Structure formats: C-alpha cells, structure tokens
C-alpha cells in the first residue's frame, strides 16, 4: 500500500539505518556457554566486522519531537532546545508499518499562548498521541491532552505510562472501556478520570484476564455516584498485561504487535 498519513515529516532522520555495526561479536563454547576466543583465523575479521542485522533501523523520538515543534513554530517560538520528554510505544500494526505512541513533554517557559483573543494559561505539560508510518515518513496527530501545573521528570514518566495504558485499554475495550459509551451521560468523562488510578500487572498465574473484559465488574466504578467518588476510590482490579497484549511472546518478541 502507498497510503500515507496526513502530515509529511520535514526531517528525514526520524527513521534511520545505522551506518556501523552496533552489535559486538562474542564467541562462546557450545557446551558450557562460557565466552571463549574465536577460532584461529577468524579473530581479526570478526572483530572488525561485528554483527549487523538485516533491515535494522532506529526510530528517533528526538527527531520526531523536533519535527513537531518546527511545524508548530508559533506555539514553540521561544523554544531554543528540546524540552524534557517521555514516550511510550502503545502498539504496532501487524505488518510492522504503523507505530502508535504517546509523547509527553514539558512546556513551562517553552510554549507561547496561541489561543487568540482569549488569554488562557499555558499548560505545564502536553501529551500527544501519534500514529507514524515508517515507510512513508508521515504521521497523524491523533489527540492532544494537557496538564495545567506539573511537568517534572517523575510526573512526565508516570503520566506517559498512564496515557499509554488509557489508550491501549480503549483499543482492546477492556477495563473502564468495556462499558458502552452511552452507558451513562457522564461515562466518557468518568472513564477518563477512572483510568488515572488503574494499574497493570504481569502475573499470569492470577488467571483474572476475563475480568478485564467484564463490564459488570467495572460498571460500579465507572458509573458510581459523583458525590461518592474521592481520591481514595479504588478500581476493582489491576489490568493484566496479557489482556493488553494477548499475543505477547517473549520468544518472538511480539509484545506490541497484537
């Protein structure tokens, strides 16, 4: 397919191929596994050649963020360097072409007010959901979110994790997103709030994956009385990693494909 996404990146180094061997060649004994010298005659050539992986490439988050900021120069006119940022890879299409990720970055002292006549307080941090096509060097901005006051490194890391979990739960329709969108008038807003407190676990021995998809387990949490909600309100369970990525396989490294 030659279909491209909406925005063509100005930078050509977002996806780049390494121009040198980045993997060191190490010899080991086939029986013990202990590291040993290479066979006679192979030492010099192997040390110089190293190991290269066919079709290996690097995805530069810094180059992507730089492209976004340059394209939105009015918003970041006073920014002379890249802000602090964190990102999470959310999913990859099965053919490996489309990458969905969330990128969060600080904006204090780096972003200008572009709201027009109405003056609004500049957010402290911005989050952006993106879909990037590695073949055509194009991307879509799927959604923008913002935080009014916090932008330190610890917050950005946790916020990035939370936003990624939120988006993946919506993709798989699990947890708070297992309920129909019209289940209640306030459901969308409450789903957004509820997901902030939800965590995930990677203990497959619990055997609780089916509960992640059961709306009866999540309905009271999502549609609870507004007055009864508080910061101490606890979600019914942690989301299983195997529910977020049901075909996660350590051997084949298909963790984010399905």
Average pLDDT over residues 33-60: 69
Residue 104, pLDDT > 90, answer yes
Question: Where do the DSSP E strands lie in the chain?
Answer: 7-8, 15-16, 58-59, 85-92, 98-106, 125-133, 138-147, 200-201, 239-240
* Coil, strand or helix at 217: helix
Average pLDDT over residues 72-82: 75
Q: Which of 51-65, 79-93, 129-143, 148-162 has the lowest mean pLDDT?
A: 51-65
Inter-residue contact 152 to 79 (CB < 8 Å):
no
In the structure encoding, which two tokens stand for residue 244, read together?
């977020």
In the structure encoding, which two tokens stand for residue 234, read together?
């606890």
Per-residue confidence band for 90, with pLDDT thresholds at 50, 70 and 90 = very high
Average pLDDT over residues 89-93: 92
Higher confidence at residue 148 or residue 195? Answer: 148
Inter-residue contact 91 to 100 (CB < 8 Å):
yes
Give the pLDDT score at 86.
95
Q: Which residues of 204-213 are buried (b: 16+ CB within 10 A; e: fewer)?
A: eeeebbebbe
Rounded distance between C-alpha atoms, residue 89 and residue 93, angstroms: 12
In the structure encoding, which two tokens stand for residue 9, read together?
């990146």
pLDDT mean across residues, the chain: 77
């Amino acid at each position: 397919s030659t279909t491209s996404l909406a925005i063509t990146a100005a930078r050509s180094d977002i996806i780049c191929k390494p121009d040198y061997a980045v993997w060191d060649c190490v010899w080991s004994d086939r029986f013990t596994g202990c590291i040993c010298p290479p066979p006679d005659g192979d030492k010099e050539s192997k040390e110089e050649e190293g190991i290269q992986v066919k079709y290996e490439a690097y995805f530069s988050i810094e180059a992507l963020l730089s492209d976004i900021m340059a394209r939105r120069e009015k918003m970041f006119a006073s920014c002379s360097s890249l802000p602090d940022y964190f990102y999470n890879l959310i999913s990859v299409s099965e053919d490996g072409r489309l990458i969905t990720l969330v990128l969060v970055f600080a904006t204090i002292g780096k972003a200008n007010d572009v709201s027009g006549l109405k003056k609004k307080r500049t957010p402290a941090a911005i989050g952006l959901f993106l879909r990037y096509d590695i073949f055509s060097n194009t991307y879509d901005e799927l959604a923008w979110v913002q935080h009014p006051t916090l932008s330190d490194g610890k917050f950005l890391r946790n916020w990035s994790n939370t936003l990624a979990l939120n988006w993946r739960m919506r993709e798989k329709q699990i947890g708070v997103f297992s309920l129909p969108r019209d289940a209640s008038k306030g459901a969308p807003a409450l789903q957004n709030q509820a997901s902030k407190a939800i965590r995930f676990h990677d203990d497959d021995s619990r055997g609780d994956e089916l509960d992640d998809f059961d709306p009866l387990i999540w309905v009271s949490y999502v549609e609870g009385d507004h007055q009864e909600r508080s910061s101490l309100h606890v979600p019914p369970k942690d989301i299983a990693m195997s529910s977020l990525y049901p075909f996660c396989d350590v051997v084949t490294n298909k963790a984010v494909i399905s």
